[in-house]
A and B are shown apart, each in its own frame.
Chain A
Amino acid sequence: MYPSRFHYEAPSTLDEAFEAIEAYGDEAKILAGGMSLIPLIKLRFAAPACIVDINNIPGLDYLEEESDGSLRIGALCRHRTLERSSLLRNNYPVMFATAPLIADPMVRNRGTLVGSICHADPQGDWASVMLSLGGEIIARNAEGRERSIPVSQFVVGPFQNSLQTGEIAVAAKVPPARGTRTGTYLKLERRVGDFATVGVAINLEMSGGTINRAGIALTGVGGNNIQCTSAEQSLAGKSLNASTIDQAARLAADAAQPKNDVRGSIEYKRHIVYTFVQRGLSSREARAA
C-alpha cells in the first residue's frame, strides 16, 4: 500500500518540532509510535502534508511519580514500558491491567499512551483508563507554556481532541490517589490485537473499605470513551457489597451507547458492560481493599 506524498521532518528538539508544525498548521501530524497513523496514511484514509516525527527528541520517554504523588507519562513512553513497570503494578492496577491488553506485542513496542489518547479512537483503551483515574493531558505550545486538559475534556469526539493548532501533547498525568488504589481493566476482544467489543476500566480509591473515589469508564460502546458518572457517584462513600456492585453495574450498562455491528448487538454489549463492571468490582483485589 502506498501513501500519498508527504513531507517528513524529524526534529531533535521540541522547538524544531514547533517550527515544523507552525509551517504546516493543521496539515502537520505528529508521529510518536505511529501505530494508528501509519495504517491510516498507508490506506490513504489520511493524507497529512507533513509528518513530524518526534522520536529523536530527548526527554519525552519517561514514566515517573512526582513529589506530590502524581504520575507523569511522557509522550514517547511506550506501552511496553507501562506493561513492565513495577510502579504501575504496585500503585496503578487499572493501568497495569490494561497495558498487556493493548493490541499485540509489536504495537506495544512502538505505540504510546499519549499518542493513543490524542488519536481519540472510541475503541482505544487508554482514554477509558485515564477517565477512570481522572487523568489529564499536558499540552505545550511554541512559547513553552503548558496547560493541563482533563481527558474528559480532551477527547471531544471520534478521532477528535481539543488540542489547539500549534500545541503538542507532551505528557499525560494521573493525579494522586485518595487512599489505596484498586481496579482492573476487562476487555472483550475477538482476538489479540482486536479493538475492544467492550472494555471496562475500573479504578477505586479506598480507605478502610470505604470508597473515596470511584472511576468507571467504557471502551467501544459509544462515539467516545464513556465516563460512567452515575455509577461512580453511586459508589462514592460506600463499601463494596452485592447490592452496591449490582447498582453500579446497572448504571454503567445504562450509560453505554452501543451500536449493532459485527462485534455484537446493542443488548449483548450492554450485558457485557454489566457483567464486566460486576466482575471487576467483585474481584478479590477490590474486595480485599
Chain B
Amino acid sequence: MAQALDEIKIGGLGASRKRVEDDRFLVGKGNYIDDFKLPGMLHMEILRSPLAHARIKSIDTSKAWQIPGVHMVLTGDMAAQHNLAWMPTISYDTQPVLATDKVRFQGQEIACVVADDPYIAKDGCEAIVVEYEPLPVIVNPYQAVAEGAPIIRDDKEGQTDNICYRWEVGDREGTERAFAQADLVSKIELHYPRSHPSPIECCGSIADYNAATTKLTVYMTTQAPHIIRAAVAIVAELPEHMIRVISPDIGGGFGNKVPVYPGYVCSILCSILLARPVKWIEDKTGNLISTHYARDIYYKGELALRKDGKILGVRFHCDTDNGMSFSDAQPTKFKIGLIHSAFAAYGIPFGYMTAQGHYTNKAPGGVAYRCSFRVTEAMFFQERQIHAAADDLGMDQAEFRRVNLVKDDQFPFRTPYGFLLDSGQYEKCLDVALNAIGYKEFLREKEEARAQGRRLGIGISTMTEPLGAGNSREYDILGIKMFDSAELRVHPSGKAILKIGSKTQGQGHETTFAQIVTHELGIPAADILVQHGDTDNTPFGMGTYASRSTPTAGAATSMVARKIRAKARKLAAHLLEVSDEDVEWELGRFYVRGAPNRGVTIQECAMAAYGNMPDGMEPGLENNAYYDPPNMTWPFAAYIVTVEVDPETGVWDVLRMVAVDDCGVRINPMIVEGQIMGGMAEAFAMANMQFITYDAEGNCVGSNYMDYLLPTAWETPGFELHEVVTPSPHHPIGAKGIGECACVGGPAAFVNAVHNALDDLRIRNIDMPLLPHRVWEAMKYKRDVSGMPPLKTEAG
C-alpha cells in the first residue's frame, strides 16, 4: 500500500513553512515600485502647503516652467479642466487632488512638477511661488464646534458647520432602563491619539498611458488593486477594461495603502497629458503628513453595573477628528467603522452608542491601521472602561472580566449592537494568560515592592474583532460587495498556480495560501505558485486589510481547490476504471474503495486532465471560486503586561508580556506568531511613544522619523506567546483572522498596567502615549493627563 503523505512535510495545514517571499526580500531581489524603470519615464514631485489653513491668493508657476528638464507644472486649476481638482472619498465626501481655493491642512498638495529626474522636479517645486492669506486653524473637534469657528469646508454647498457625520446604533431606551437599574455607573473619558500606519515604503505610482492603444497601466503601492481600478475608472472616467493596476512587492501597508491619494491621480493625469510614463515616489514627510492617518477619537463612555460585577448596559459617545475631509476607509453602511464591536465579548444585554465626525485642519483619513475598521479604538476604549469599572467596584480585574465574558455555551452570541459572535473559549484564554503570568504571585510581589517605594503594575486586556468582511448583505465599499476570490490552475505535471484577489504587503500570502491548496489537494506547497496584485491576471477581489484575506480569499482558495478535487475524482475514476462513487480520497491520492493499493495521485489525475480525459469531459484542470462569507470570523485574545514605573522620572519598563491568541485553526503557525509579535510591537509603540500631534498653528509634530517614533528592537519588549484553538464554525478550514489582533488588543494591556502601578493615586486616565513626562505629571499632581492637541509649545 502506498504510504500516506505527511501533510506537515509537504507544507500543508499546520506546517511552519518558511516564507517563500523571504528568499527574494532577504537578498534584495524584491521588486518595489521604485525599482521599476520604464523607457521614457519622467519623474513627478509634489509641492505641499506649509500652512494648515489659508486662502490661496495666487500661484505663480512661470519660473518652474523655465527650468530645463521640466515637462509639466500641474496646478489645481489645470486639474479642474479635467474635472480632477477634487475626487470622491470612500466615505462619500470629496477631497482635493490639488488645491484651488484654499489649503486646509499642512502638507496638502498644491501643485506637481514632472521633469526628467526627481532632482529637477524638486527644483521646479521650489520655484513655484504661492501667496497665502492665513486663516484661523482648528486642530481638535471641540475647536471645530466652538462658536465662531471658521467653516473649513466652505467649498461644499450647504455646509454651515464643521460636522461631517452623525451616527447612532443600539437600543437607546433599553439601555436607559438598564442604567436606571444600576447600583453603580462607571464613567471614563479619554483620547486615542492620532497615529499613522507609516509603512517603511511610502506610497508611489508609475502611470503609463499608451496613447496608441489607449491602455493605462498603473504600477502602484496598493493593498486593493481591483478596487483601485474601479475607482480610477470612476474618478478619471476611463473604461475599466483599459486600465491595468499592478501592485508589485509592497513594503508594508497597515491600511495606509488602501485609499486613493492625490499623487496617484496626478501621475495618471500627467501621463495622459504627456503620453509618457510618470513616476511618483512619495517622501517620508509627505507620507506622514498627508496620507491617511488612523485613530484620533475622543471617547466618553459609561457602564451600568450591578454590585456583584455584572454589567447591565453600556453607553458611549465618540467624537472623531476626521481632518479636512471625511475619508474613512470603511464599509458604506457604517460611519465610524465597526467601533460598535466594542464590548462584544462581554455579554452585555443593552448598549447604545452615538458618534459625531468633525472637519479639522489636519490630514484626512481614518484608515483601519492594522485593524478591522476602527476596531483598535473600540477595543482600547472597552478595556480602559472595563479597567476603570473594576476599580470602581473594588473588584479584581481578572474576576470582573470573568464574570462578564460570554460563556462557551452561549455561541453563537448576538451582541447588543447586532453582531453575531461565531465561536470562542474566552474564559479559557483568560485562564491560560493568568497562569502564564503568575497573576496571584505578581499581585503579592507588587504589594511588597510598593512597601519599598517601587511601583509595579499589571494590566489585562481582552479583545475580539469582527474579521473577514463581508458578508455581502451588510458590507460593501462604493457599492461593491465585500466577497473575495481565488482561481486555481493545475498544470499537466501537477504543479499549480493559484491567483487570488487579495494582495500581500508582508503577510506571507504566497506561503500561506499555497498551504491551503496543499491541505485540500495534497500537492506539495513547493509546487504551488501564488500570484496576486495584477488586475489583468487575477480574479476580482476587495484586497487585503482588516485581517480579511484568510477569512475570505483563504476560504475561496479552499473552495476552488475542492472544485478541482471534484473534477480530479472523475479523472481518477476513469483512470482506475471504476465509478466515481467507488473512489476514496486521502491526501494527494484517490484509491478504489476496498482496494487501497489501487490508486492514482493527484498529479496523475492532472496529467489525465490534459492527455487522457474520459469521453465527453472538458479538458483541463482549473477553476475559480468567489466566496461570500456567511459571517465574520471572531478571534479572541487575552493579553497581560507587567511593568515597573520609575517614581522619579515617569519612565516605565515592561517586565513581562503574555499573549494568548485564539485565531482558530493556524495554517502556518510561524507566520501567525510573527503576526502576533508584529502587532504587539505596534501595540507597545502606541502605548509608549508613537503618535502625531499638532501645535496651535496646525504644524504637524511627527513629520519624520525623528519626531514620529517607531520603537526599535532595543525598546520593544519580549513577548511570550500561547494559543487556544477554537475553529471557526463557518470557515471551510476553521481559520480566523489574526494579522491585527495584537495591535488591536495590546495597547490597553500596557496602558492598564501603568495605571495599575499608580492605583493608589486616584488617577482615572493618562492619554496615550504614556510618555514619561505625562506619567510624572499624573504622579506628581495626582491628576489625569490629556493628550488633546494643540501641543503646548510656548517658551518658558
Contacts and interface: CB of A to CB of B under 8 A. Distances in A.
Interface of A: 1-5, 43-44, 104, 188, 190-195, 197, 258-266, 268, 271-272, 275
A260 B118 contact: no
13 contacts: A2-B118, A2-B122, A43-B704, A44-B122, A44-B126, A190-B689, A191-B714, A194-B709, A260-B796, A261-B793, A271-B776, A272-B649, A275-B648
B339 to A, nearest CB: 28
B715 A191 contact: yes
B123 A4 contact: yes
Nearest to B284: A1
A262 B649 contact: no
Given A258-B796, A262-B707, A192 B715 contact: yes
Contact of B795 (A43, A259, A275): A259
B711 interface: yes
A259 B695 CA distance: 14
B44 to A, nearest CB: 12
Given A2-B122, A44-B126, A192 B714 contact: yes
Contact of A265 (B122, B651, B773): B773
A279 B126 CA distance: 49
Residue picked from B284, B649, B651, B714, most chain A C-beta under 10 Å: B649
* 6 A-B pairs with the lowest CB-CB distances in the bound complex, closest first: A264-B773, A266-B796, A268-B773, A192-B714, A2-B122, A2-B119
Contacts of A264: 771-773
Contact of A191 (B119, B285, B711): B711
Contacts of A268: 650, 773, 776-777
Contacts of A272: 649
A5 B649 contact: no
B283 A265 contact: no
Contacts of A194: 706, 709
Contacts of B706: 193-195
Given A260-B794, A268-B777, A1 B715 contact: no
A19 B723 CA distance: 68
A5 B773 CA distance: 42
B795 A260 contact: yes
Interface string B766-778: 0000011100110
B213 interface: no
A275 B795 CA distance: 22
Listed residue (B121, B791, B792) with the most chain A CB atoms within 10 angstroms of its CB: B792
B651 A188 contact: yes
Contacts of A193: 706, 712
B701 interface: yes
A191 B771 contact: no
Contacts of B648: 275
Nearest to B283: A1
B693 interface: yes
Contact of B793 (A1, A260, A271): A260
A197 B776 CA distance: 14
A271 B283 CA distance: 38
Nearest to A258: B796
Contact of B771 (A5, A190, A192, A195): A190
B506 to A, nearest CB: 22
A68 B584 CA distance: 92
B112 to A, nearest CB: 14
A4 B777 CA distance: 44
Contacts of B123: 4-5
Interface string B695-725: 0000001001011011110110000000000
Contact of B693 (A5, A259, A262): A262
Contacts of B796: 258-260, 266
Contacts of A259: 793-796
Contacts of A195: 706
A191 B689 contact: yes
Contacts of B715: 191-192
Nearest to B123: A4
Interface in B461-482: none
Contacts of A265: 773, 777, 792
Contacts of A104: 712
Contacts of A260: 792-796
Nearest to B702: A262
Given A2-B122, A192-B712, A262 B701 contact: yes
A246 to B, nearest CB: 14
A135 B772 CA distance: 32
